[in-house]
Amino acid sequence: MMRSFLDIASLSHDDLISLLDLTHQFKQGKSLSMTGQVASLFYENSTRTRVSFELAAIKLGLTPILIDIEHSSEAKGETVKDTIQTLHAMGIDSFVMRHKSEGLIHDLNEKLEGVRFVNAGDGKHSHPTQTLLDLYTMQQQLSDFSQAKVVVVGDIVHSRVANSLVCGLVKLGVGELVFCAPDYFLPEKVNGAMIEPDLKIALKDADVVMGLRVQKERFSPTFDASLDEYICSYQLSSDTLSYAKPDAVVMHPGPMNREVEITSELADSQRSLIWQQVKNGVYARMAVLSSLTR
Ligand code: CP
């Protein structure tokens, strides 16, 4: 049990295993009758994370409260902290939040005792529930993380998904973890991953290939890269996946830029676990919401 769920780094190995087990139990039909409300505060756009948290809350017996940020008092200058305190004063004590400001949710979690937070993505820093659903989806595919090779391909430098995923895979003792991207999409620190810029070499013997979205909205004004060159060297397709193991699978956190980082023919093929990831997201978020201390 935990008050808040902010990042994968704060979880012990056993906590992570317990959350994966709980995700599996919910997928197998475990039910709970919880009471209370969970407010969703999405200061950045979302489809799957927001809706899967709402569905997870409903399935657990909780009441989801969707705050329409665009029409909220944020537009009149209210701070995020005041918005949360306002909602807390009305009796809401659990908040699922996505915000572009890295670490803001950690600050609020420290300052607002008695409030439970779930991080639904903070800037480029962390997206821990995405990692939980990604690890669970991989676990269904792999017999043993320690024997597996996972390759992450794409815009890693702007990716909170990659940051959290590396942390989770290292905690689970993944056999081999490779980042494959051009220089301009690689972070300064890779924390446990190896770098291989050549896609065909990187994919050799891969069990799981995680494609990442090219996040144009996070490019700095001085960022200069050719999308055509990127597509030519790094696009995931059935052709490029043929360099991986014969039974390798492809994943993508979504939303996808079809025909940019991944072709439609691969995304919609039998080798794609993309819709499994989305489905498992509801169970992973049930696991997280039901583990917050009540
Ligand atoms: N993967 C993910 O976070 O998707 P959304 O932006 O649609 O929530």
Four-residue CA torsion sign, 120, 26, 13, 130: negative
Please check whether residue 262 is in contact with residue 252, taking contact to mean a CB–CB distance below 8 angstroms.
Answer: yes
Question: Which pLDDT value is given to residue 40?
Answer: 98
For residue 221, pLDDT over 80 is answered with no
Task: Tell me the CA–centroid distance for residue 50 and ligand 1, in Å.
Answer: 8
Q: What's the average model confidence in pLDDT over 177-198?
A: 93
For residue 219, pLDDT over 90 is answered with no
How far is Cα of residue 39 from the mean position of the Cα atoms in its chain? 19
For residue 210, pLDDT over 80 is answered with yes
Say which amino acid occupies 237: S
Cβ-based neighbour number of residue 102 at 10 Å:
13
Task: Tell me the CA–centroid distance for residue 32 and ligand 1, in Å.
Answer: 26
Please check whether residue 250 is in contact with residue 199, taking contact to mean a CB–CB distance below 8 angstroms.
Answer: no
Q: Which residues line ligand 1 (CB under 6 A)?
A: 46-49, 121, 130, 253-255
Q: From the alpha carbon of 121, which atom of ligand 1 is closest?
A: 3
Task: Tell me the CA–centroid distance for residue 52 and ligand 1, in Å.
Answer: 10
Residue 199 CA to residue 60 CA, distance in Å, equals: 42
Cβ-based neighbour number of residue 264 at 10 Å:
11
For residue 251, pLDDT over 70 is answered with yes
Q: From the alpha carbon of 98, which atom of ligand 1 is closest?
A: 8
For residue 223, pLDDT over 70 is answered with no
For residue 220, pLDDT over 80 is answered with no
Task: Tell me the CA–centroid distance for residue 67 and ligand 1, in Å.
Answer: 17
Mutate to test the pocket of ligand 1, among 40, 47, 163 (most ligand atoms within 8 A of CB): 47
pLDDT band at 191 (very low <50, low <70, confident <90, very high): confident
Task: Tell me the CA–centroid distance for residue 157 and ligand 1, in Å.
Answer: 17
Question: Which pLDDT value is given to residue 190?
Answer: 83
Cβ-based neighbour number of residue 243 at 10 Å:
18
Q: What's the average model confidence in pLDDT over 20-45?
A: 98
For residue 174, pLDDT over 80 is answered with yes
Q: From the alpha carbon of 50, which atom of ligand 1 is closest?
A: 8
For residue 225, pLDDT over 80 is answered with no
What is the value of pTM for the model shown? 0.96
Query: pLDDT tens digits for 119-146?
Result: 999 999 999 999 999 999 999 999 899 9
pLDDT band at 267 (very low <50, low <70, confident <90, very high): very high
Residue 263 CA to residue 227 CA, distance in Å, equals: 14
Q: What's the average model confidence in pLDDT over 240-258?
A: 97
pLDDT averaged over the chain? Answer: 96
Query: pLDDT tens digits for 60-108?
Result: 999 999 999 999 999 999 999 999 999 999 999 999 999 999 999 999 9
